Homo-oligomer: A and B are copies of this chain.
Amino acid sequence: MNEHLLIEAVSPAVDGGRYPAKCIAGETVTLSADIFRDGHEVIRAQVRWRRADGPSDAWEINSLSPQGNDRWAANIVPEAPGDHLFAIDAWTDVFGTWLEDVGKKVAVGLEVSSELLQGLELVDVARQRTSNDSGALQALWDALNSALPEDALAMVQAPVVHTLMDRSVPHHDLRSSDNYRLIVDRPRARFGAWYEMFPRSQGRQTVRASTLREAANRLSDIRDMGFDVVYLPPVHPIGKTFRKGPNNSLHAGERDPGCPWAIGSLAGGHTAIDPELGTLDDFAAFVQAARDQKLEVAMDFAIQCSPDHPWVCEHPEWFCHLLDGTIKHAENSPKKYEDVYMVNFDTYDKASLWNALRDVLLFWIEYGVIIFRADNPHTKPFAFWEWVLGEIRAQHPEVIFLSEAFTRPKPMKALAKLGFTQSYTYFIWRTHAAEIRDYVNELAYSGMQHFFRPNFFTNTPDILPEILQTGGRPAFKLRAVLAATLSPTYGIYSGFELCENAAVPGKEEYSDSEKYEIRVRDWHAPGNIRHFMTKINRSVSRTPPCNTSKTLRFSFLTMIRFWRTVNAAVTTS
């Protein structure tokens, strides 16, 4: 039993180890802790770490070094994505304590013959106990026994003897920490520029959706602007029943395409492609075309069903029924969403529902999608996310999940703790210098940096913030630089580069929102900031600090310099 050593304040750890911390494969992670004991004895410490799915005794071991003030640290570099474990061991270095004691006495000229006898006793014990180093220790022992006291003292003080002694005797007073979890992600989990677009709006006419094959024609343009990820709202069949018309009206015309978040029709549900967009093969071709452009495709994972979704008939038990037998539509009182049913996560048939949802993700992973954006995750059970993200991570640790939880701070953070790779943030509403500074400092230094990776979107199909509505082109440029430089991951919703800012009066919503109708744009319209965006994306991805393990990309000072450089480059080109 260990009576002496304490290991405290292990880092990185989230809520004392209840949740995993996050890091990036191939990058250095510093593991540290407060380690100390009573008394004046010398201690040693190490960190053990391994893949969570590996053999339980296959630990890699790094020595911890004292950093001052009883803090100890070691750097490790996990090689590949996947859940990892680490633990800290500390023990009393009996031989080291003896060495230090003798050294102090010798330094002030004290007689140490009694101490020398103790040291030889320690070597004797080690000699008898070791199996690996028995030859070396026996030779040492023989030499010590036949040496003069002064020579024996010099001999045992040689560093190699300390090393030999440390590994030859069991660790004295050994204390081990609990195991701590570490999610190791691929670099894209932290760093990237996202571009959100509706594939149906990438053509030249509003009377029909552009297909995925047509939308693929825009990929080179997006890549040329320097983006890394193309994020698509749901591409599944859209329900007919209670379909919404333009501007969220309750009555859709015959040709109105509906809202992509009202998922499911006779053509299929979450594992089908909207026939207007094409087929599963067309989708596979789109993913491949993106890959050819070095772009990744992010899909929407929106757990909700139109009344026409196949699940409504196949699994009525997955939905909430009213007393009159009808299924309850989604609502956020007093708002009603007649075109959408929420699934009932608490259904008695929970296992089959949860498995089906996991299988939706696995289905698209088979199609090469390894980034998902979860729609409104804060309205689904926390336990579901912890489970499903763990299930996917265990099989596909390369998969990235972005949490779209525009909700209160605590649930927003909780979803990140439960396993989301990255999160939408409040950046979209932080416009003044002081509030931006406070917010970025919180993200980078409050402890959040160990589990919460921000994705700074400037706008979304749901949110056209006031600063963009009123600030004109300078505001778009300002917000782009802030997003791209303050967070390692950021994104825009297409139209941003055209400085689109027509809002529903008095609201943060786009007028004639693309959510309910097909849009056609001239991507080279006058006044666009495409060139500016390109410069930002290319500069940021070339700039070294962005690829460090810091959440905060740049200091404000660096950002101002960066802003000047980009502006100068654009102006002179």
**Partner-B contacts on A (CB < 8 A):** 1-6, 8-9, 15-16, 34, 36-40, 69-70, 100-101, 104-105, 107-108, 110, 114, 117-118, 121, 322-324, 332-334, 345-346, 378-384, 408-411, 414
Contact = CB atoms under 8 A, between A and B. Distances in A.
Contacts of A8: 15, 410, 414
**Secondary structure of the A contact surface, majority rule:** mixed
B3 A38 contact: no
Contacts of A37: 382
A105 B333 contact: yes
Q: Which of A100, A105, A382 has the most CB of B within 10 A?
A: A382
Nearest to A405: B38
Contact of A408 (B16, B36, B105, B408): B36
A414 to B, nearest CB: 6
A379 B70 CA distance: 16
21 contacts: A1-B383, A3-B346, A4-B382, A5-B382, A6-B410, A6-B414, A8-B410, A8-B414, A34-B410, A36-B411, A38-B379, A39-B380, A40-B332, A40-B333, A70-B408, A101-B333, A104-B334, A107-B334, A117-B323, A118-B322, A121-B323
Contacts of A333: 40, 100-101, 104-105
Contacts of A383: 1-4
Nearest to A350: B3
Number of copies of this chain in the oligomer? 2
Contacts of A121: 323
B323 A114 contact: yes
A110 B334 CA distance: 8
A4 B386 CA distance: 11
B323 A38 contact: no
Contacts of A104: 333-334
B381 A3 contact: yes
A6 B36 contact: no
Contact of A381 (B36, B38, B100): B38
B16 A382 contact: no
Nearest to A108: B334
A411 B118 contact: no
Contacts of A3: 345-346, 381-384
A118 B411 CA distance: 28
A323 B322 CA distance: 85
A59 to B, nearest CB: 24
A1 to B, nearest CB: 8
A37 B39 CA distance: 47
A70 B411 CA distance: 9
Given A4-B381, A70-B410, A105-B333, 5 more contacts: A15-B16, A38-B381, A100-B333, A107-B334, A118-B323
B39 A114 contact: no
B345 A40 contact: no
Nearest to A385: B38
B39 A379 contact: yes
Nearest to A107: B334
Nearest to A387: B3
A118 B105 CA distance: 84
A327 to B, nearest CB: 13
Nearest to A418: B6
Contacts of A36: 408, 410-411, 414
Contacts of A414: 6, 8, 36
Nearest to A381: B3
Given A3-B346, A114-B324, A380 B38 contact: yes
Contacts of A9: 15
A8 B19 CA distance: 12
A71 B324 CA distance: 38
A332 B101 CA distance: 9
A74 to B, nearest CB: 18
A221 B118 CA distance: 54
B382 A6 contact: yes
A345 B37 CA distance: 14
Nearest to A4: B381
Contacts of A322: 114, 118
B38 A378 contact: yes
Contact of A38 (B100, B118, B411): B411
A356 to B, nearest CB: 17
A322 B114 CA distance: 8
Nearest to A415: B38
User: Of A1, A8, A38, which is in contact with the most chain B CB atoms at under 10 Å from its CB?
Assistant: A38
A346 B114 CA distance: 21
A1 B386 CA distance: 14
Contacts of A118: 322-323
Contacts of A105: 333-334
Nearest to A345: B3
